[in-house]
Amino acid sequence: MKRPVLAAVLLCAAYAAGAADWPYYGRDQGGSKYSPLADIHPGNVRELSLAWSYRTGDSSELRPAAVPSSFLATPVLHDNTLFFCSGLGRAFAVDAESGRERWVYDSRPSMDGGTGKCRGVALWHDATAAATVCRSRVFMGTIDGRLVALDADSGRPCGDFGEGGSIDLGQGMGPLYRNELAMTSPPVVVDDLVIQGAAVRDNQRVDAPPGVIRAWDARSGALRWAFDPVPADAPSPQAVGAPPGQRYHAGTANAWSLLSADEELGLVYVPFGSPGLDFIGGHRGRNGVDVDHFANSVVALRVASGEVAWSFQAVHHDLWDYDLPAQPLLIDIEKDGALRSALVQATKMGHLFILDRASGEPLYPVQERAVPQTDVPGEYTAPTQPFPTFPAPLHPAGLGAQDAWGFTFYDRRACREKIAAARSEGIFTPPTLDGYYIQYPGVAGGQNWGGLAFDARNNTLILPQNHVVVHNRLLRREDLPADAGASDTGGYSLSQGSPYIVQHGILLSPFGTPCIAPPWGTLVAVSLDSGGKRWEVPLGTPRDMLPGLSWFPFFPALGLPSAGGAMVTAGGLVFIGAAMDNYLRAFDADSGAELWRARLPAGGQATPMTYRGARSGRQFVVIAAGGHAYMRTALGDSLVAFSLRE
């Protein structure tokens, strides 16, 4: 048997018994987003049509008093029921084959600031419970920082969990301001422990809430362990309280995205973001506490204790908001004639790091390369940054004036002048006080929380990738313009506790279009045999978004920025929404050819999933179509299911 085929056969065999299921956010605890279902395939995918649609009623468009909300959830499946959440703090259960509502639970979160996001829920089944109530539980995070446990059958809170069915995640975190702490991604549940990270609002203050990772007893909600992401010998904090036996430090990196787990190894894998302020780091290390130590790292924690097994840092002293945004992908790969348990970490930089998931050692060489250095008083930069060699970086690493693009000579020249006037020294160009600086890849990536999908048939990674240029400038606080709040060139961070603030913006032409040549978003397939791209195609078209510009005949190939991920099936198809043009698409997994698309009622900034109905035996493809508030896609409240015509 050929090498690349062996791993695929093993993985497919492992999935075969539960082929109809989608029990976790990424279908498995390692986030493969791979389904062995093949009922829908390139030969019949054009026959897909709407099977049903369910409306949640939860959208900031429908509830004007609510915070801006985004419907980003990927449902999970149990007992022919789909469970999911809305950005406004409600959980739902609907019949998987009809979309008929079974129950709704409203967590009634505080709407005081923040944004409404919920990427999904987690399921847990108590194998020892004799009673039926809460034997199967749905765990959901809320935008006001709570972890809720619900009975999967009724949607009622499990009263034996925490205080009346929920836990306040703000406990021990010190003072919190206006929903500063939220849980926007589902927890990982392993060995009867609910393990969660949380999102901390960016760029607010140097003493931001701690990025502690905590494990709670799935039955009682009791705290079993907590991981404070600082070195073990860090001095105890002065201003932040914690439960007895715990110590949480302010300003540490948080893990707002999705965690993974390997139950056999007894490890949970945490992708951390940047600490404190995203673009300003001179304050880090105050009071002898190295808050950079685990920042921008994937950290393997022991499920039983929360102790660090290993860590790997993808960015040193981050000044670019280069969080690790994607769920670590756990797969087995062939290397040097042996099957290796691997972890693949996608990054905003377009770097894919492949590590041994037991030890954290890179399975392929990682090079430390010299990078540009800061000229900002009181700031410092790492002299080198890690670069993978296999696969090689996937995203262009920097931008020069010669790369300026526009529809006309006028806007192309304006873009060229903007780039030439900014500091632009390639990837990891640091912030400067001397005007604007270029950051490319930008804060949206490269890769983002949509993460990776693994095509087990041919040992290939599938990922969406953004091409968006950030055009920022660093200012001394006293130089903040009087009209900063009314600026149309970008927002300003608060950055409390720092002498500097950052003005954020996207590099756009006078016409409001990107200053770089399209595509501005792509779908990429990367071979784990060769390390090269098998194919890369534009993802999305502005034709329907920008009707005033649709007369450009080449618009269908431009590609758009995206948020959300891909799902791949044994039928040889890649399904993805994500792009800003409100379509769900199916691509040929072998060639990248677009085979089918369906217009969604709102933005599809989510990751689709698939399953086989227990009653009908039909394969369904489901995606949340509710849009993304900050991406300004059409907002809505629909969960949409497609299947082959009967």
463 bridge partner residues: 524
With H, G, I as helix, E, B as strand and everything else as coil, classify residue 578. Answer: coil
**Full strand arrangement of the beta sheet holding 193-196:** 188-190, 193-196, 213-217, 223-227
Backbone dihedral angles phi then psi of residue 85, each to the nearest 5 degrees? -135, 165
**Chain CA centroid to CA 211, Å:** 17
Take residue 1 and report the two structure tokens written for it: 């048997």
623 bridge partner residues: 640
With H, G, I as helix, E, B as strand and everything else as coil, classify residue 417. Answer: helix
The active-site residue, picked from 28, 151, 321, 588, is: 321
339-to-6, 16, 97, 198, 318 alpha-carbon distances in Å? 9, 20, 38, 34, 34
Place of tokens 């006293």: 478
Please tell me the distance from the alpha carbon of residue 543 to that of residue 563, in angstroms, as a whole number: 19
Take residue 257 and report the two structure tokens written for it: 């995205």
Residue 321 annotated in active site: yes
The answer to whether the beta carbons of residues 579 and 540 sit under 8 Å apart is yes
Take residue 565 and report the two structure tokens written for it: 């991920």
Residue 121 burial (10 A CB sphere; 0-12, 13-18, 19+): buried
Take residue 451 and report the two structure tokens written for it: 């993460």
129 bridge partner residues: none
Task: Work out whether strand 199-200 and strand 213-217 pair parallel, antiparallel, or are unpaired.
Answer: unpaired
Catalytic annotation, residues: 321
